[in-house]
Homo-oligomer: A and B are copies of this chain.
Amino acid sequence: MLERTEWEVVLTLAEELHFGRTAERLHLAPSQVSRVVKSLERRVGAALFVRSSRSVALTSIGARLVRDLAPHVRGIEDAVRNAMESGRSPRGTLRVAFVGAAAGQQLLKAAALFGGRHPGCEVRIHEAQVHDGVPRLLAGEVDVLITVLPVRGVRVGPVLLSEPQLLAVPPRHPLAGRRSVTREVYGDHPVVRLPDTMPEESRLHRVPAETPAGRPVRRGPQGSTFAEILTLVASGQGVFPVGEHAARFYPRPDVSYVPVADAPPVDWAPVWLETNESGALRAFVECAAETAS
């Protein structure tokens, strides 16, 4: 409808009322200004400026057009400028959630570094539970989630913490005295199930459907928060593989931990939706990576 050059020329010429100065301000040759104005006038079907070699004046139609155009042009410029700032520099507020105490500690360090580095951007911290971390991310309630990998359908940042797996068992459980176990024991003892609001891939990574030998894993009761899972373990309803930090962050007299020799490490990383990427988000992930190393 209206080319960029056209409104630039019209608005500038309406201010300057002089083709030469208008051209200068727009880094154009005066002839170009003349052509652009004339072409627009032909398209509009009315003169916007009355000009002789000695004077330039707005017509009433031109004046009206300028009056109507100016605020909207400013509005567009603001919108683009705003998008540019959101994309580049950290601004506004960033909502970050974590699942579990270890992630919380990582997050606090990252937030401290970020806060010092980008005072113009507020970080709002939320604690999520095992069952609602990913759903809240997908729902757009939070921008970044620090959680256990793998997570599908999201962008994944660098691993902040990688720890060996321990099996949580009741203190008097047959496995409690062992130096270490293998995942083969999942065929003999029921394993507490993760909430099914978690993606299946994530759950299977922690607790496979079959033991290494091919026997089916025995399914225990389902828990939806970490505390709930530990309580189920303590009450003898199942065992559950956790990251090493749990032994330090959740020391309970009614739960013992035994290394799982053949389980992959538990990796913690920030994840986010590609659609929510922004300058602030990128900067935060960078801070998290720095504090982790």
> Residues on A close to B: CB < 8 A?
1-4, 7, 43-48, 50, 57-62, 64-65, 68-69, 71-73, 75-80, 82-84, 86-88, 140, 274-279
Contact = CB atoms under 8 A, between A and B. Distances in A.
A7 to B, nearest CB: 7
A275 B55 CA distance: 13
Given A58-B275, A61-B278, A68-B82, 5 more contacts: A1-B4, A61-B83, A61-B87, A72-B76, A76-B76
Contact of A277 (B59, B69, B274): B59
Contact of A86 (B64, B72, B78, B274): B64
A279 B46 contact: yes
A121 to B, nearest CB: 15
Number of copies: 2
Contact of A79 (B45, B69, B75, B78): B69
Given A64-B82, A83-B65, A87-B44, A76 B7 contact: yes
Given A4-B2, A276-B59, A277-B47, A78 B68 contact: yes
Given A57-B275, A59-B274, A60-B278, A46 B83 contact: yes
A80 B47 CA distance: 13
Contacts of A72: 71-73, 75-76, 79
Nearest to A89: B45
Contacts of A80: 1-2, 44, 65, 69
A87 B46 contact: yes
Q: Which 4 A-B pairs have the closest CB atoms?
A: A46-B87, A68-B79, A72-B75, A45-B87
Nearest to A6: B4
A57 to B, nearest CB: 6
Contacts of A76: 1-2, 7, 69, 72-73, 76
A143 to B, nearest CB: 8
Most buried by B among A64, A65, A75, A83: A83
A84 B75 CA distance: 22
Contact of A45 (B46, B62, B84): B84
Contact of A4 (B4, B65, B77): B4
Nearest to A47: B277
Contacts of A86: 46, 61, 64
A245 B64 CA distance: 40
B274 A50 contact: yes
A83 B156 CA distance: 52
